[in-house]
Amino acid sequence: MSTEELKNSITAILPSSTFDETGEFLNVVITSEELLPLMNTLRTKSEFDFDFLFCLTCIDWKDHLMMVYHLLSKTHQHTLVIKAKIADRNNAQIETVCNIWRTAEFHEREVFDLFGVKFINHPDLRRLFLSDDWVGHPLRKDYTDENMISL
């Protein structure tokens, strides 16, 4: 599907989504509560058929967190980027997508470890890289540590 068709189809499913076409891919900006139904539709409906999640990450924009999901469809060869805005930094939570794409299991553990985002219904939410008793989430912009050296 072309970018226009994707935009129209997604607006039909979720009218409150906004779009950002400045980059290479079509970006869809939604809130964190609207994530799971949209992801289910994108995976299961045959005109979308996004079966390959190739990047799952988070960006810390100082006043909110933004979850970024890069999706690709092997059959239709179209790409989409879903951005889910998490407004509450202190109690960041979002639904997990690891029942849809199994690769999300490790990626979400990494985001939990480094950003502190809790994933609801994740089968095994523990820290991945850092030791289990580490305090804080390093990749956040307001993270400080007495051992940190600034260049």
Partner 1 sequence: MRGLIGEDILTEEGEFIINMGPQHPSTHGVLHLKIWLDGETVKRIQPNLGYIHRSIEKMSESLSYRNFIFATSRMDYLAAHVNNEACALTVEKGLQLEVPQRAKVIRTILSELTRLQSHQLWWGCTGLDLGGVTPFFYAFREREAIMEIFEETCGARLTQNYMVPGGIMYDVHPNFQKRVKDVMIQIKGKFEEYDNIMTGNVILENRLKGVGYLSKEDALSYGVTGPTARASGLSCDLRKSNPYSAYDQVQFDEILDTGGDCYARYMVRMREMRQSVSIIEQLIDNIPEGDFQAKTKNVIKLPKGEFYQRVETPRGELGVFIVSDGAASPYRIKYRSPGFSNLSALPIMAKGGKIGDLVAIMATIDLVIPDIDR
* Contact set with partner 1 (CB under 8 A): 22-25, 27, 51-55, 57, 59-60, 68, 70, 74, 77, 101-103, 105-107, 127-131, 138-139, 150-151
Residue placing its CB nearer to partner 1 in the complex, 15 or 149: 149
Q: How far is the CB of 150 from partner 1 (least distance, A)?
A: 7
The angle formed by the CA atoms of residues 91, 136 and 29, to the nearest 5 degrees, is: 45
Q: CB of residue 37 vs partner 1: minimum separation in angstroms? A: 20
Least distance CB 27 / partner 1 (angstroms) = 8
For 61-128, strand residue ranges (E) read 65-72, 79-86, 93-95, 118-120
Contact yes or no for 127/111 (Cβ under 8 A): no
Q: Encoding tokens for residue 114?
A: 């480094």
Give min distance, CB of 12 to partner 1, in A: 26
Of 135 and 151, CB closest to partner 1 = 151
- Residue 51: helix, strand or coil by DSSP? coil
Nearer to partner 1, 34 or 51 (CB): 51
Partners of 6 in beta bridges: none
Residue with Cβ nearer partner 1 (16 or 22): 22
Least distance to partner 1 from the beta carbon of 113, Å? 8
Distance separating alpha carbons of residues 77 and 105, to the nearest angstrom: 24
Q: Closest Cα to residue 102, out of 126, 124, 75?
A: 124
Q: Which is closer to partner 1, CB of 10 or CB of 50?
A: 50
